[in-house]
Amino acid sequence: MAEAPFTPRVFSGIQPSGNLHLGNYLGALKRFVDWQDRDVETIFCMVDMHAITVWQDPAALAHSTRELAAGFIAAGIDPEKSTLINQSQVPEHAQLAWIFNCVARMGWMGRMTQWKDKAGKNAEAASLGLFAYPALMAADILIYHATHVPVGEDQKQHIELTRDIAAKFNHDYGVEFFPLTEPVIEGAATRVMSLRDGTKKMSKSDPSDASRINMTDDADTIARKIRRAKTDPEPLPETYEGLKDRPDARNLVNIYAALSDRDVADVMAECGGQQFGQFKPALADLAVEKLAPISAEMARLMRDPGEIDRILARGAERARAISAPILDETYRIIGMVR
């Protein structure tokens, strides 16, 4: 197995396009903090180059990148313990991505759900970057020989593709150079759903702001969105299995469990039988208690963007100490004259 010789290293990324929302926080960011606090090397990334696969206003992109960095730090990422970077400041990501463009097959990329969803019926007009997106993602991970990637469920297919790219590279060049990275998809909120429609993923591209909780929302807004979240007329069942065909209710229970670091069975033991008139205010209080300090800290950090830029510059320096030798070795394996 290719895993054996690799020391554990965690990498993950978030796009700085639009608002950081509760799905990103519970499915990704909060898990990143858990990883950082276990004794393992962690690298976290604002993937600004992924963001431009669809057009971004330059000023808005710069703002979102800094705000996302503030979000990471406010949520508990310590830039001394973890390496915090924006992708474009570590050029080895893009350099390795080119090589992976030559390893990955058109058919693999065409099967990606995210490509099909985002390009939709008008694939002819989509950017080439949107199609090649997963090869850059594989490069983000493999340029550090990362072994574990915590993500929400929607990214699972991309991590599987990353493994396929690593395996094909290793096979084509007769090496055991890239690890077969493990996706880590765990916890009660690996797929947080829209507050307006429990069958749709909570997402930054949903036109309805009421469908998501943004990490920049103030306490009143958070509470209002939860009070108005779509539910059904039944009380909560006694067991989690009873939520099988009740996506809106199940979503709120999952959010409650993830925010309070409990498992869903535990939440059902406490809240089973409650009406939403009772459950929603408890959830709103919990959400405000957990999220309001993060949004306040983000706002405080954003008052000093120069400090955020210094943190990202230091992160890039640390990251390049790992990525540059791996890129160099990759070039050597391929036969590029150094």
What are the residue numbers of the active site?
118, 201, 204
Torsion sign across C-alpha atoms 117, 111, 86, 39: positive
Q: Which residue is nearest to ligand TYM (CB)?
A: 27
Least distance in Å: CB of 89 to ligand TYM? Answer: 15
| 170/182 Cα distance (integer angstroms) | 17
Least distance in Å: CB of 148 to ligand TYM? Answer: 10
Distinct helix (H) and strand (E) counts, the chain: 14, 5
Torsion sign across C-alpha atoms 164, 173, 321, 336: negative
Rank residues 28 and 327 by Cβ distance to ligand TYM and give the closer one: 28
CB 254 within 8 A of CB 283: no
Q: How far apart are the first and last CA of the chain?
A: 30
Rank residues 202 and 236 by Cβ distance to ligand TYM and give the closer one: 202
Which of 127, 17, 94 lies closest to 61 in space, CA to CA? 17
Which of 27, 7, 143, 5 lies closest to 85 in space, CA to CA? 143
Least distance in Å: CB of 155 to ligand TYM? Answer: 4
Rank residues 12 and 86 by Cβ distance to ligand TYM and give the closer one: 12
Please state at what angle helix 219-227 crosses helix 276-302, rounded to 10 degrees. Answer: 150
Q: What is the dihedral of CA 124, 60, 213, 75, to 10 degrees?
A: 120
Least distance in Å: CB of 13 to ligand TYM? Answer: 3
**Measured CA distances, 317 to 14, 87, 291 (Å):** 20, 12, 31
**Residue 57 CB contacts under 8 Å (≥ 6 apart), including other chains:** none
Least distance in Å: CB of 14 to ligand TYM? Answer: 4
User: Which residues are at the interface with ligand TYM (CB under 6 A)?
Assistant: 11-15, 23-24, 27-28, 47, 50, 137, 140-141, 149, 151-152, 154-155, 158, 189-192, 201-202
Least distance in Å: CB of 152 to ligand TYM? Answer: 2
Rank residues 149 and 249 by Cβ distance to ligand TYM and give the closer one: 149
